[in-house]
Amino acid sequence: MSTVATVSNETFNTHVSVLVVGAGAAGLCAALAAKEEGVEAVVVERDAVPSGSTALSAGLVPAAGTRLQQAKGIADSPQLFAADIQRKAKGEADPAVVEAVAQGAAPLVEWLADRYGLPFEVVDNFNYPGHSAMRMHGLPSRTGQELIDRLRNAAEANDIVILTRSIVDRLLADPDGRIRGVEVVHGDGAREYIGCDALILACNGFGGNPELVRRYIPEMADALYFGHAGNRGDAVTWGDALGAQLSHLGAYQGHGSVATPHNILISWAVIMQGGVQINCEGRRFCDETRGYSEQAAEVLRQPGGFVWNVFDGRIAAVARQFEDFREAERAGAVITAETITDLAEAMHVPTTAFAAEWNEVEKLKSTGGHDRYGREFLASQTCKPPYYAVKVTGALFHTQGGLAIDTDGRVKHKDGTKFPNLFAAGGAAAGVSGPIAAGYLSGNGLLTATVLGQLAGKAAAKLIPGFGTLCSGRDGI
Ligand SMILES: Cc1cc2nc3c(=O)[nH]c(=O)nc-3n(C[C@H](O)[C@H](O)[C@H](O)COP(=O)(O)OP(=O)(O)OC[C@H]3O[C@@H](n4cnc5c(N)ncnc54)[C@H](O)[C@@H]3O)c2cc1C
């Protein structure tokens, strides 16, 4: 069990300026930003090759007002983006942090593109629920694997040391919360005490810790965890021991569309383009377009804990931009049929009930209108044969609660004052989704990982002796 210890009887083997725990998107953006300020940054990563949940994601970063959007004539602004985040979070996200990430996202995307050559594109052929503009920025493969690989290459090209196969086991701190360093266990079992001037926790949340999930998010205690197994909630455990403020621990990113039993993400584009979800009784059960996060628990509540995504060939063509969908097709997770009757048979759902639901939806599309759950259908979403279906379940992707921070990623004490040299970003910090799963707006995960990573890296660099000073203790702000 990871804990926090004071340093009185510890000897540091070495000392670095900015130490980062975790080499996901948050940690690597933080290290790049610190290094750019002329400060040494070292990242400690438990895996042999950095991947994290970042590699499992679609790598889509939402940003408002980028030149990539402007080139495509997409009108957007950080204000509109911030309003979308708060609308989804029912106004319960920290307004200052929302403002910081909404303002910082466009500069972040352009920074990664211009300085480190990440070839971002705007996804402009479908939109995610709750976004008022097309603002998802993705790499050509639309994979998080490409994002993490490109970030790692950028870090290596800039001489940032990543200590791999090394787990931070304990934080070493003074009684007032000033971090002195960390205790690391390397892959060969050797222990090392690394001192630092500033520490950035970028080790994501507690999705990989069943005990913490059961305690804080009981509705997902038995759900498939689809994130990185190494995210064991160390930031929350350490923060708790240090007396940090923990916020919105019940919040999470779920997803109601993971192909089962194949365990492959099926893009929510299949729903947003006009597809629906049908349970094993052949029935729809809610407005699927509210959001994929809250849909995870909704799907798990259906008989058997699974449902079917049903759509057509036009929608499948949109989904095929994602490698995951192509993989699902290769794995045989996607079934097709020329008629709804044949599809119902292949899905083993009652034909009459399913056909009635399907016909009602298609009629609503042609006339334009809302269904009994309030979902709006458009004529452009009409489906034609052949029809497609994928059996899916609900999964936990990552936790959104964590250490309360300021707009520099600086961790707060319970009384709202700040730790002198402790930062958190990405899944380690409290996100901008409010207290529950329904507050998660698509992209909030990588938004807070990348933007807060960059902001924390910059702010941590400023603490390094000789750089100039930010503070020398609890500043009471
Ligand atoms: C399937 C899936 C799809 C997703 N799609 C999207 C999307 O398209 N857009 C979006 O915005 N978000 C998406 N998300 C969420 C997004 O992936 C995460 O919010 C984001 O990657 C978090 O980044 P991070 O750097 O905080 O964590 P991670 O990328 O998980 O990195 C944390 C790192 O810390 C390391 N670590 C943990 N503990 C220790 C320790 N004690 N010592 C050393 N190292 C440690 C881990 O090994 C890991 O490498 C998705 C998530 C999943 C699972």
pLDDT tens for each residue of 322-367: 889 999 999 999 999 999 999 999 999 999 999 999 999 999 999 9
Closest CA to 138 of 317, 293, 324, 315: 324
Q: Quick one: CA torsion of 335, 339, 345, 346, rounded to 10 degrees?
A: -10
Q: How far is the CA of 281 from the centre of ligand 1 (A)?
A: 36
Structure tokens at 397: 């992707």
Peptide bond into 95 cis (omega under 30): no
Does residue 9 register a pLDDT over 70? Answer: no
Pocket test for ligand 1, best of 21, 43, 47, 57 (most atoms within 8 A of CB): 57
The reported pLDDT for the residue numbered 10 is 60
**Is there a contact between 231 and 207 (Cβ–Cβ < 8 Å)?**
yes
For residue 138, give the ligand 1 atom closest to its CA: 8
Residue nearest (by alpha carbon) to ligand 1 atom 16: 445
Peptide bond into 107 cis (omega under 30): no
Q: Degrees (nearest 5) of the Cα angle 448, 94, 176?
A: 85
The reported pLDDT for the residue numbered 128 is 86
Percent of the chain exceeding pLDDT 90 equals 91
Does residue 229 register a pLDDT over 70? Answer: yes
Does residue 130 register a pLDDT over 70? Answer: yes
Q: How far is the CA of 190 from the centre of ligand 1 (A)?
A: 26
pTM for the predicted model, two decimal places: 0.91
User: Residue 4's pLDDT band (boundaries 50, 70, 90)?
Assistant: confident
Structure tokens at 422: 């402790």
For residue 203, give the ligand 1 atom closest to its CA: 34
Does residue 131 register a pLDDT over 60? Answer: yes
Mean pLDDT of 40-45: 97
Percent of the chain exceeding pLDDT 70 equals 97
Does residue 469 register a pLDDT over 70? Answer: no
Question: Is 184 exposed, middle or buried, given 0-12, 13-18 or 19+ CB atoms closer than 10 A?
Answer: buried
| Chain centroid to CA 47 | 19
Q: How far is the CA of 229 from the centre of ligand 1 (A)?
A: 10
User: What's the CA gap between 429 and 426, in Å, rounded?
Assistant: 6
Over the chain, what is the mean pLDDT? 94
Q: Which amino acids bring their CB within 6 angstroms of ligand 1?
A: 21-27, 44-47, 50, 52-54, 56-58, 60, 144, 167-168, 202-204, 226-228, 230-231, 234, 253, 265, 397-398, 426-427, 443, 445-447, 449
Query: Residues with Cβ < 8 Å from 69, sequence gap 6 or more?
Result: 63, 76, 122, 133, 134, 135
More confident residue, 11 or 137: 137
The reported pLDDT for the residue numbered 8 is 59
Q: How far is the CA of 412 from the centre of ligand 1 (A)?
A: 22
Residue nearest (by alpha carbon) to ligand 1 atom 41: 168
Closest CA to 391 of 320, 323, 331, 314: 331
User: Residue 6's pLDDT band (boundaries 50, 70, 90)?
Assistant: confident
For residue 443, give the ligand 1 atom closest to its CA: 11
User: Residue 126's pLDDT band (boundaries 50, 70, 90)?
Assistant: confident
What is the bridge-based pairing of β-strands 334-337 and 387-399?
antiparallel
User: Residue 97 — φ and ψ, nearest 5°?
Assistant: -70, -40
Does residue 473 register a pLDDT over 70? Answer: no
The reported pLDDT for the residue numbered 467 is 76
Query: Residues with Cβ < 8 Å from 261, sequence gap 6 or more?
Result: none
Mean pLDDT of 453-467: 93
Does residue 2 register a pLDDT over 80? Answer: no
The reported pLDDT for the residue numbered 351 is 98
Q: How far is the CA of 394 from the centre of ligand 1 (A)?
A: 18
User: What's the CA gap between 440 and 444, in Å, rounded?
Assistant: 7
Q: How far is the CA of 340 from the centre of ligand 1 (A)?
A: 39
Mean pLDDT of 299-314: 97
Q: How far is the CA of 228 from the centre of ligand 1 (A)?
A: 7
pLDDT tens for each residue of 369-428: 899 999 999 999 999 999 999 999 999 999 999 999 999 999 999 999 999 999 999 999
The reported pLDDT for the residue numbered 313 is 97
Min mean pLDDT across 188-197, 210-219, 459-468 is at 459-468
User: What's the CA gap between 243 and 205, in Å, rounded?
Assistant: 17
Residue nearest (by alpha carbon) to ligand 1 atom 50: 57
Residue indicated by tokens 């009471």: 476
For residue 425, give the ligand 1 atom closest to its CA: 26
User: Residue 125's pLDDT band (boundaries 50, 70, 90)?
Assistant: confident
Pocket test for ligand 1, best of 398, 403, 450 (most atoms within 8 A of CB): 398
pLDDT tens for each residue of 51-98: 999 999 999 999 999 999 999 999 999 999 999 999 999 999 999 999
User: What's the CA gap between 100 and 94, in Å, rounded?
Assistant: 10
The secondary element (H helix, E strand) that includes residue 257 is strand 252-259
The reported pLDDT for the residue numbered 475 is 33
